[in-house]
Structure 1
Amino acid sequence: MISQVFILTSKGDHLIYKDFRGEAGVDAISAFYESVTALSGDQPPVVMTHKGMHFIHVRQGGLYWVASTKTNASPFTIIEFLNRLTALTKDYCGTLSEKSVRANFALIYELLDEMVDYGYIQTTSTDILKNFIQTEAESSKPFSLFDLSNVGLFGAETQQDKVAPSAAASRPIMANRGEQGGKNEIFVDVIERLAMVIGSNGIIMKADIEGEIRVKCYLPNCSEMRIGLNEELSIGKSQLRGYGSAVRVDECSFHQAVKLDEFDTYRIIKVCPSQGEQTVMQYQVCDDLPCAPPFRLFPSVERDSGNRLLMYLKLRCDLPPKSAAINVSITVPVPKGSVSLSQELSSPDQRAELQPKSKAVLWEIPRFPGGSQLAALFKLEVPGLSSASLLEVGPVSMCFELPKHTCTGLQIRFLRLTPTQPGLSQRWVRYVTHSDSYTIRV
């Protein structure tokens, strides 16, 4: 039975921390590292006990892959599990290194969620896991001018290019496209950027969405591709179309190579994709949000009897239960006289720190499931704290990514290639929403 799994760098920095049973705290990480680095010569896979916890580890890719247990479990079983975890990580990420683990931490957390349930190993089979893992791996290969998979619309890799999780229900583990030549694959990415201002009373004051549809083509030949959008898509303030859930955008524009002869009637765009990347459609929604805001914040700020500022933040994720936000960070400006921070977080995979230069508290959440709620209590030492100092708190700004989600509801109905491609051709549709600016007034 496994209590914790964590991955450390050779310097002791923790990259991944997953607590399955709540039997020990984060201090187990430092206890393990101090113990393993105190050993001379070859390090055995099983090291000393700390507060009744046994640590079992393997070292691969310059990283410590560690599992802790409080029971009298078989160390060989856990060592085999860790070896399978490293093999799966290498299969998905391409390489085992600190850089690839940092870039794919959301994918590794998803792997651990499927492999282990409350400390009991469920499966390490690649064939079974590939039906459940939906996060797209982030490639760690260097930029190359000869590899068009790294080249953006204007010749540079953008932040949105780096993360575009897949919406395919079953994703096979593919080798690095640079090694395979990237043949017989085509990706259609629907990427949206959300800008929002929410007042202290919870009312939406501003909500803008900018979106685009990108095509990344790695097919040897394709004369034409037809992309079917929502049939009920409405453009501008005109009457909404169809009988289903209405999807509306204020403005849209198309690449000059796009043919629109079927767009007005059937909402189908046709394009002859070239090798590499094209943005075939751009659209915008102004001062309107078709769905509920992805996050709601319930803050409470007060002072205690001493010179401490107490800041209690309750954050709710209003995404559907099967969705999740990743790379969530919350920045809260605090009084300029703040000198130290103590914190109480609702789960161990979160972290927070006081940034001395900007005088703001940074709260980071690697993965935030939809329909859940997290809380944090921050205690700030502020010499000379006054009532005026409380006015320096806020507004709160958030950064996040929403894989498999679009705020407008824009969807791809179908992809059809002409002529039909010989052999097996993979067609992927992927959705992601990024925060452009998400501000909540306190």
Structure 2
Amino acid sequence: MSVSAVFLLDLKGKVLICRNYKGDVDMAEIDHFLPLLMQEEEDGLLSPVLLHGSVHFLWIKHSNLYLVATTNKNSNASLVYAFLYKLVEVFTEYFKELEEESIQDNFVVVYELLDELMDFGFPQTTDSKILQEYITQEGTKLEVAKSKVPTTVTNAVSWRSEGIKYKKNEVFIDVIESINVLVRWLQPLGVNWAGVNANGSVMSSDIVGSIKLKTMLSGMPELRLGLNDRVLFALTGRDKGKTVTMEDVKFHQCVRLSRFESDRTISFIPPDGESELMSYRINTHVKPLIWIESVIEKFSHSRVEIMVKAKGQFKKQSVANNVEVRIPVPSDADSPKFKASTGHAKYVPEKNLVVWTIKSFPGGKEFLMRAHFGLPSVENDELEGRPPITVNFEIPYFTVSGIQVRYMKIIEKSGYQALPWVRYITQSGGKQLNIFI
């Protein structure tokens, strides 16, 4: 990856702040960015990479800003975009909200950050916690910090400071899995519930997981995490019981990758506080944890009744919290009336949705909601080929994949005792979509 310069622009293309790292691209080239972008929008072929002569513009939009990197080399685009999104993350950590006003109010800090985040077009220190040790928003601290660079910048362990002390040593582990399910329904419209022969099939499904830590440990501890990883069990000849096969595994920089590749041990010195240790994907067939059926019944072209049935398809000991079923309705619907066997339904006219909220949904239970609307128009074609019904939820103490934290070993030279705590959470991911045809 090699970046010539980074620009922060407002929505009119005005440069708010920039940093020239290499000097091999004329800084005036940025004047071509917005015209190129507007032309792409008019043509309906909006591209994440724009080209003017030999100069490439790689850009993202955040709030009322454009963040643009320029280069005239054959740079790795994915790394450039990773850096731009990291910029957003760091600036947000500093200013709470990244927008035009926060940039204008913090020019000095932004320049300091741009200098530390990248050097001669290559990323350097990008951890906001480490940056905050020596780049602050008080000018006096900036002068003091320049005279002494924190050891975290020069250390082999750049993500953790030395001398951390806690009265009570603990580490909290959250295993969070998000489920993405697409269900396709072939179902007739305009019939009574009793006459429906529901035919729903899962078109695609996967599980996206992450393991997050909140570390409150003194000193420089080494942690070793054990999971019921199928590859590990096969290597050690213990392929018994429930195991999982993880794909697309990504680790925090603290994890010793060579150790994981050789014997699947997750060994690391953790960052202090909150961090995401790893993420993974499990490509497996997953049935919807909350099964949705829907029927529309029209009456004399002037009113419509939508019936939605939700059934919990997870174990009875578990409870889904904050379940939200979002049902699209025609844009000209009015006079809403609702009747739900549990929870609360409301009409959101600006989004053409009925939102059915159930605070507590036990496994194995089944609930019904009826929504009645008047339709001002005589005919309404929006009932045909409806947008999908989406479902959001969260189930604590439960994972669909069956992943388990088998052990967490904490090793520190002082020999203190520490308590690891583990929590499992399953939630809806990029939405459970129920498409009715």
Quickly name the TM-score band, shorter chain normalised.
0.5 to 0.7
Name the residue aligned to 2:182.
Answer: 197
- Aligned to 1:357, the other structure's residue is in SS state helix
Of 210-219 and 243-252, deviating more is: 243-252
Equivalent position to 1:207, from 187, 205, 208? 205
- Distance in 2 (alpha carbons) for counterparts of 1:440 and 1:241: 40
Shift in Å at residue 394 of structure 1?
3.6
Aligned-pair CA distance for 1:386 = 3.0
Deviation at 1:330, TM superposition (A): 1.1
* 2:170 and 2:418 in contact (8 A); partners too: yes
Q: Which residue of 1 aligns with 2:228?
A: 230
- Find the aligned partners of 1:233 and 1:203 in 2 and give their Cα distance: 31
Is structure 2 residue 244 aligned with structure 1 residue 251? no
Displacement of 1:249 in angstroms is: 2.4
The residue number in structure 2 matching 1:56 is none
Alignment CA distance shift 1:438-1:336 (3 Å): same
Give the distance between the partners of 2:434 and 2:202, measured in 1 at CA.
9
Structure 2 residue aligned with 1:439: 433
TM-score (norm 1): 0.53
Q: Tell me if structure 2 keeps the 8 A contact 1:232–1:244.
A: no
Q: Aligned to 2:200, what secondary structure does the other structure show?
A: coil
By how many angstroms is 1:333 displaced? 0.9
Aligned residues: 263
Task: Give the Cα separation in 1 of the matches to 2:289 and 2:263.
Answer: 31
From the superposition, tell whether residues 196 and 420 of structure 1 become closer, same or farther in structure 2 (CA, over 3 Å): farther
Q: Which runs of 5+ in 2 are unaligned?
A: 1-91, 95-125, 130-164, 186-198
Radius of gyration: which is bigger?
2
**Structure with the bigger percentage of helix:** 2
CA 1:363/1:154 → structure 2, altered by over 3 Å: closer, same or farther? farther
Q: Secondary structure at the match of 1:335?
A: coil
TM-score by length of structure 2 reads 0.54
* CA contact 1:302–1:390 (8 Å) conserved in 2: no
Using the alignment, how far apart are the partners of 2:271 and 2:351 within structure 1? Answer: 46
**Structure 2 matches for 1:7-406, cutoff 5 A?**
183-200=168-185, 201-233=199-231, 242-260=239-257, 263=260, 267-286=264-283, 288-289=284-285, 291-305=286-300, 307-347=302-342, 350-386=343-379, 388-391=381-384, 393-406=386-399
1:79 maps to none
1:214-243 CA distance string (max 9 Å, x none): 2210112352111110042589xx9x9823
Match of 1:416 in 2: 409
Q: Is the 8 A contact 1:231 1:242 kept in 2?
A: no
Q: Give the drift of 1:304.
A: 2.8
| Distance in 2, Cα, partners of 1:154 & 1:207 | 33
Amino acid at match of 1:298: E
Q: Matched residues in 2 for 1:423 and 1:385: separation?
A: 75
Distance in structure 2 (CA, Å) of the matches to 1:398 and 1:232: 31
CA contact (8 A) 2:344 2:358 kept: yes
CA distance in 1, matches of 2:304, 2:375: 7
Cα shift readout 1:10-38 (whole Å, capped 9, x = no counterpart):
xxxxxxxxxxxxxxxxxxxxxxxxxxxxx
Question: Structure 1: where are the runs of 5+ without partners?
Answer: 1-142, 146-152, 157-179
Distance 1:155 1:264, change over 3 A: closer
Once residues 341 and 245 of structure 1 are traced to their aligned partners in structure 2, the CA distance between those partners, rounded to angstroms, is 48
Distance 1:379 1:261, change over 3 A: same
- Output the amino acid matched with 1:207: S
1:109-148 deviations in Å (ceiling 9; x for gaps)? xxxxxxxxxxxxxxxxxxxxxxxxxxxxxxxxxx998xxx
Contact preservation (8 Å) 1:300, 1:312: yes
Cα distance in structure 2, aligned partners of 1:301 and 1:316: 18
Q: CA deviation at 1:202?
A: 1.9
Letter in 2 for 1:258: V
Deviation at 1:423, TM superposition (A): 6.5
- The match for 1:84 is none
Conserved in 1, the CA contact under 8 Å of 2:166 and 2:217?
Answer: no
- AA aligned opposite 2:223: M
The aligned amino acid for 1:439 is L
2:213 and 2:232 map into 1 onto residues whose CA distance is 22
Matched residue SS, 1:206:
strand
- Residues 305, 420 of structure 1: alpha-carbon distance in 2 compared, 3 angstrom cutoff: farther
Deviations along 1:291-316, one digit per CA (max 9) or x if unpaired, are 43211112111113472211111101
- More moved, 302-311 vs 363-372: 302-311
Paired-residue identity, %: 29
SS of the residue corresponding to residue 247 of structure 1 reads coil
Q: Distance in 2 between matches of 1:225 and 1:253?
A: 17
Query: Partner amino acid for 1:281?
Result: M
Q: Which moved more, 1:296-305 or 1:263-272?
A: 263-272
State the Cα distance separating 1:433 from its structure 2 match.
Answer: 2.5
Against the structure 1 CA distance between its residues 234 and 406, is the aligned structure 2 distance closer, same or farther, given a 3 Å change threshold?
Answer: farther
Q: CA deviation at 1:343?
A: 1.1
- How many angstroms apart in 2 are the aligned matches of 1:427 and 1:234? 22
* Deviation at residue 277 of structure 1 after TM alignment: 2.4
Q: Secondary structure at the match of 1:332?
A: strand
CA distance change for structure 1 residues 385 and 432 in 2, over 3 Å: closer, same or farther?
A: farther
Question: How far is 1:266 from its partner?
Answer: 6.0
Mapped partners of 1:182, 1:383: distance in 2: 67
